[in-house]
Amino acid sequence: MLDPDRLTGSIGQIELEFVEREATPEPLMKLSIHLHSAGLSLSDTISVLDSFGVERARSTVHNWVQKADLQPTSGRDPDHVALDETVIQLDNEQYWLYAAVDPETNEFLHVKLFPTRNTALTKLFVQELTEKHDVEDSLFLIDIAPWLKTALHDFNLRFQTESNGNRNAVERVFKELKRRTKQFANHFKHAEAETAENWLQTFAFTWNQLI
């Protein structure tokens, strides 16, 4: 069961600076963004709006989620960071979702979607992570992927390889992400990479508020 305080806190952190002329009350817009990013389908989300006497199209809620531009907040100082990537399907193309997770809290630290996985893109991800969080003294938990080792080594960050233990934190989070996107079969149809990445970052933001 969701903690009402966490639910309220999550909604309160959603900024609507993009709103110009919108007839929908802001609390209902925030609720819609929150519910959809937490796993409710667009159809079910507009049904919730309808129960409040507000009729909106699925595309409208989708646009709210995109324009809210949510992602995990910065400023963390984790002792450990679990780092990994997983495949995300966009129509017939494979993309790679990189994620850094704090295994002590199971919270996302940073997520990014790339068209492939290699050392250069991994270094870009790590650079963005170091700019968002204080990870200079963190111990990174990774698998045997050479691009992960090389990127962390080049940034002089400590790491160790693990097949289980705390590194499983990121695997657990990936498993939940794929469960919540089951309506897509982990497959974003007719979506641009930027749209999919935006939704995944919004999911990460909401996940952090609810765990």
> Of 46, 68, 90, which residue constitutes the final position of a domain?
68
Lowest mean pLDDT among 83-97, 131-145, 155-169: 155-169
Task: For residues 88 and 157, state if they share a domain.
Answer: yes
In a domain, 201, yes or no: no
DSSP lists the bridge partners of residue 84 as 99
DSSP run (H or E) holding 97: strand 93-102
Q: Does residue 173 fall inside a structural domain?
A: yes
Collect all residues with Cβ–Cβ distance below 8 Å to 29 and sequence separation of at least 6: 16, 19, 22, 64
pLDDT at 69: 76
Q: Are residues 46 and 99 in the same domain?
A: no
Which comes out higher in pLDDT, residue 80 or 58?
A: 80
27 and 50 fall within a common domain: yes
- 178 and 120 within one domain: yes
Domain co-membership, 180 together with 86: yes
- Lowest mean pLDDT, pick from 1-5, 13-17, 207-211: 1-5
Number of domains in the chain: 2
User: Are 175 and 118 part of one and the same domain?
Assistant: yes
Domain co-membership, 59 together with 85: no
Q: Which domain holds residue 155?
A: 80-191
Are 91 and 153 part of one and the same domain?
yes
Mean pLDDT of 50-74: 86
Residue 15: what pLDDT? 61
The DSSP 8-state label assigned to residue 48 in this structure reads H
202 inside domain: no
Same domain, 102 and 62: no
* pLDDT tens, position by position, 65-123: 878 778 888 999 999 999 988 888 888 889 999 999 999 998 999 999 999 999 999 99
**Above pLDDT 70, what percent of the chain?**
80
- 91 with 169, same domain: the answer is yes
In a domain, 108, yes or no: yes
The phi-psi region of residue 142 (left if phi > 0; otherwise alpha if psi is between -120 and 50; otherwise beta) is beta
Instruction: Let me know whether 127 and 151 are in one domain.
Output: yes
State the pLDDT at residue 3. Answer: 45
pTM of the model as a whole? 0.78
Q: Is the pLDDT of residue 6 over 70?
A: no
Our measurement of the distance from residue 200's CA atom to the centroid of its chain's CA atoms, rounded to an integer in Å, reads 4
Could you tell me if 62 and 147 lie in one domain?
Answer: no
What local confidence, expressed as pLDDT, does residue 32 receive?
85
Q: Return the residue matching tokens 């705390």.
A: 166
Alpha helices (H) along 38-187: 42-51, 58-68, 119-132, 146-154, 168-180
The set of residues, in sequence order, having a beta carbon less than 8 Å from that of 57 and lying 6+ positions away, is: 46
Say which CATH number the domain at 122 has.
Answer: 3.30.420.10
Q: Which residue has the higher pLDDT, 8 or 63?
A: 63
Domain contains 52: yes
Question: CA 86, 63, 206 angle in degrees (round to 5)?
Answer: 50
Report residue 7's pLDDT band, with 50, 70 and 90 as the boundaries: very low
